[in-house]
Structure 1
Amino acid sequence: MPFPFDIPDNEKSELISKILKYTTRTQEENAQLKERVNILEQEIHRLKGLNGKPDIKPNTPKNDDSSSKPGDDNDAGAGHQKRDTGKPDERTKKKRKKPPKPSNPIRKRVAPVNIPEGSEYKGLNLYGVQEITFTVSLIQYELEHWVTPDGDSIYGRLPESVQGYHFGPELRSYVLHQHHACGVTEQQLLESLWDRGVSISAGELSNLLTLNHDDFHAEKDDLLTTGLFHCPYLQVDDTGARHQGQNGYCTFIGSPEFAWFGSTESKSRENFLSLLHRPWTTLVLNEHAMSYLEDHNCPAKWRKVFQECLCVHFFNRESWDAFLDDCGLTKPRLRQKASEAMLYGSLLSHGVRSDLPIHSDGAGQFDVFIRSGCWLHAGRPIERVIPVNKEQVEEQYQLLCRFWDLYRELKAFKAAPDDKRASSVRQHFRQLVQTRVECSELREALSNLAVKEPELLAVLDDPNLPLHNNLSESQIREHVKRRKISGGTRSEAGRQARDTFASLKKMCRLHEISFWSYLRDRLNGYNVIPRLSEFIKKAVYGDMDEGFTWSSSDLI
């Protein structure tokens, strides 16, 4: 839109300057109100079940002389054409590669039809065709029954892989792979099995997917314990995960070396600490817990009560809650803070490092140990500002250019750490956040950026830390897709199975292990593939115990 208030500075009186300032502020407030009205209208449409505005991508603009150019008056406002601010296109690389063709092919020689007399044989032309075969068979185990001279009955023993099941390990592997790796719903999987001639009911299929997976659950829990002790940092994120018709949350904890998912009813800091503490049941009230309470402004009255119980061990969370009841601590916020301190102190007593970096998108529930922030999330408040005149457009553009220039400086520092370069980055960051701008929203965004300086520049102290949280977001997308397909879980066993097999699948993907081979290895009892926690140590330290080598051909 054109600006009717472009008056030369030498012609502006004090009154005109005040009017222009008031008009600019009014335009800014109107733009914000229009945005809020648009959001509220969309929410009303959603609640009423009406069709929303179609998500139609705009046509690619043509590069002709009639198109608007950056810097024109039309750049201002919500509909201005964006200029390139140099924002990096950081994408998580997909590591999966096409597997090699199967070895030991089945050879079938095909001769021509009607070979004329006198023809000369010149050898073979090879033409490979990959095929997969689905066959359903019933294995009837005839368990011999013998009676000893003492009158006792003895029976033939079933193979370990089928004890307790009426479905073989290959079928169970297929069911788990289709549901947890390929996202096939139970109903569609049931239809597929029936089409292939498998006699199985909906209840039996549900049991195969959710029950009797203790070994898988134990191996999944090993991932978190090993990651806490051996990985140089953790990356975390969370997303919604409904359970029994109620809103809940799934938290991802991982790194480039491992992936672990846990679903709970809340997303508080206490919940995050309890997830980190999940491998252990015992709790201890120690000096680390007291220090946490002091740092988080716990009233001196309660710190004195806890001081008298220093070094007391609690066998589980229930005994700790009973202790708080006996002390008369009933205020929910104070109980939560005390539980946070207890979990924090217990983690350190179990050997978790107090300087363990936690890399996140800046959410408050992850504010424990050493914080490391995501630059892509930190730049969004500046990008979300809606400029109302060309001066604000230019201010926003310049800030974003400087912000992403800083990001590139940090990437260069990670490639070649240097004290001089680190000092330069700190100086440029402070210059950025101290920039004077007229737009109030941009000032607020810069103030929030200044508060996040320690976590955004944590990489200067530890160059191994990442600059963005794309890994966590790409990993937790697994739960987002499943939520869109299935909605949520109904049983506790179903929720546990969903988290366990998502963790194991992602772990296999990280280390280029076939998830199908992994399932067959475990359910058939081959145990050719080492425990997945061993791959974390190999990735961190670059070595592994003797006898580690294995091949997928060993599982055939």
Structure 2
Amino acid sequence: MENESVIVQDIQIHPHNIRFERQVYYSAAQNKYFRGPLPGGYDQGDFGADLRALILSLKYCGNMSEPKIREFLENFDVQISAGSISNTLTKTADAFAGEFDAIVQAGLASTRYQQTDDTSARVDGQFWHTHILCNPFYAAYFTRPHKDRLTVLEILQNTDNLQFEFGKETLELLQAEFHIPNKWQGKLEEVGNTPFDRESLATLLDGWFDDGNQQLRTAIEQASAIVYSRHQTFVPVIETIVCDGAGQFKLLTKKLALCCPVSGKVDAGRHYEKLSPIASRHKNRLDSFLERYWDYYQSLQRYRDGPTNELAKKVTKGIRRTLFDTDGLRCARCAHCENGGEERRTANRTFRSGSSAAQQHRGASGPRERASS
């Protein structure tokens, strides 16, 4: 006869009240009491660190309202007022703000690139936007009323007080990318090398444009904010931004990269996923391409996890020869093309000549046809 171990998970929730003894000294000269400190975590009011952590978890992980949190705690004989729950949530937010800034600062410094995207959000019934800034080491979320280029610059610098800079570089950027009229180029040259905050820049532009020329005004704001972000030293300057290629992400960094696939979806790959071929041969071609597409993605993942020169060569060749091999797609069923080399070139010449062989090839594989969407 043998014994066996059986593990059953359970939980106990009950009050854990602790009484501390500390020294108290009364100073008659100052008419004031001096008390010894309590241990860390127990020196922030009448509630310990574990109880405060539970309140935060119920609120932000359990999505419970403050009245329901109080009801839950009172069911276990925890005596706490609605005001104490509210204070715990609001006062802790200030401490989290400092941690948030430290995480973003470290995250920006951890890699030469950052990935970003945004999605819609509701704040007090209004449409806002939640932005994510991340790399493999961290993720930070920012909820803002807009998702324009200035907002993205605020996020990349982790600030609400965007700064602007006029000068030669700003003028060159406006000329090259925004194509502003010569009249306003002269105005900018007159200002010279000058930094601005939002308020002072708004005052200057109000004097120039009043309520008109909104497009030109926006161009000047964006260009001067971009130039400032390149030279500021408060946060690391990002070299590459990985995004979906939307307009607000352009011009912000030296390099711009499109998103890699995530969970079967990607800004490049989702276009192929949306295709709905009708003909069976078109379906087969699409399935074959998607299989190669995600296989190539896996090779990118392997390279990211352990980059080597050999893998670098494979992924470089893969995008041309394996993924987007248009000759292979066009002549997938052509016996001549399968042999490669000169036979492939001969088949392509025959293809263009309109010969009977070309007609036979078209009938077999439909090389001119594309997948229907």
Query: How far apart, in 2, do the equivalents of 1:401 and 1:132 lie?
Result: 50
Look up the match of 1:417: 309
- In structure 2, C-alpha distance between the alignment counterparts of 1:383 and 1:258, rounded to whole Å: 29
Aligned to 1:380: 270
Shift of 1:137: 3.2
Q: CA RMSD in A?
A: 3.8
Query: Contact (CA 8 Å) 1:179, 1:186: kept in 2 or not?
Result: yes
1:390–1:426 distance in 2 versus 1, CA, 3 Å: closer
Map 1:117-132 → 2, pairs under 5 A: 132=12
1:339 is aligned, of 178, 199, 221, to: 221
Residue 221 of structure 2 aligns to a residue whose secondary structure is: helix
| Structure 1, unaligned runs of 5 or more | 1-124, 443-556
Q: d(CA) in 1 for partners of 2:295 and 2:6?
A: 54
Q: In structure 2, the residue corresponding to 1:308 is in which secondary structure?
A: helix
Deviation readout 1:255-284 (Å, 9 max, x if unpaired): 112221111011222211111123484443
Task: After superposition, give the CA deviation of every residue in 1:493-525 in whole Å (9 maximum; x if it has no partner).
Answer: xxxxxxxxxxxxxxxxxxxxxxxxxxxxxxxxx
Q: Look up the equivalent residue of 2:243 and give its one-letter code.
A: S
Which residue of structure 1 lines up, in the alignment, with residue 205 of structure 2? 324
Partner of 1:91: none
* Residue pair 1:254, 1:260 contacting (<8 A) in 2 also: yes
For the structure 1 residues 392 and 128, does the alpha-carbon distance in structure 2 shift closer, same or farther, using more than 3 Å as the test? closer
**2:242 aligned partner:** 359
Residue 256 (structure 2) pairs with residue 371 (structure 1): yes
The gaps in structure 2 that reach 5 residues or longer are: 331-366
2:32 matched residue in structure 1: 154
Partner of 2:94: 214
Inter-CA distance 127–440: structure 2 relative to 1 (3 Å threshold) = closer
Question: Hey, which of these two has a bigger chunk of strand by percent?
Answer: 2
Question: Structure 1 residue 134: deviation in Å?
Answer: 2.7
Matching residue of 1:237: 117
Letter of the structure 2 residue corresponding to residue 359 of structure 1: V
1:104-115 correspondence runs (5 A) = none
- Aligned counterparts, 1:270-309, within 5 A: 270-279=150-159, 281=161, 282-300=163-181, 301-309=183-191
Q: CA deviation at 1:237?
A: 2.2
Counterpart amino acid of residue 365 in structure 1: Q
TM norm structure 2 = 0.69
The offset of 1:212, in angstroms, is 5.5
1:175 aligns to 2:64 (yes or no): no
How many residues of Structure 1 are paired with residues of Structure 2 in the alignment? 316
For residues 432-458 of structure 1, the C-alpha deviation after alignment (integer angstroms, 9 at most, x for no partner) is: 49967534866xxxxxxxxxxxxxxxx
User: How far 1:251 moved relative to its partner?
Assistant: 0.9
Partner of 1:407: 297
Cα distance in 2 for residues equivalent to 1:295 and 1:276 = 23
1:396 corresponds to which letter in structure 2?
Answer: L
1:438 aligns with 2:362: no
Sort the Cα spacing of 1:426 and 1:310 in 2 relative to 1 into closer, same or farther, 3 A. farther
| 2:350 alignment partner in structure 1 | none
The corresponding residue for 2:282 is 392
What is residue 520 of structure 1 aligned with on the other side?
A: none
DSSP-derived class of the 1:323 partner: helix
For residues 220 and 230 of structure 1, the distance between their equivalents in structure 2, rounded to whole angstroms, comes to: 15
Q: Distance in 2 between matches of 1:422 and 1:291?
A: 37
Residues 294-345 of structure 1 deviation map (CA, whole Å, 9 limit, x = unaligned): 343241343433333343122x322222232223264333333322222221
Q: Identify if the C-alpha distance between structure 1 residues 196 and 294 changes in structure 2 by more than 3 Å, giving closer, same or farther.
A: farther
* Cα distance in 1, alignment partners of residues 19 and 208 from structure 2: 62
Cα deviation, residue 132, structure 1? 4.8
Q: Give deviations 1:149-182, integer Å, cap 9, x for gaps.
A: 4xx4212346485667443333222212332345
Summarize the Cα distance change of 1:280–1:268 in structure 2 as closer, same or farther, 3 Å threshold: closer
TM-score in terms of structure 1 length: 0.49
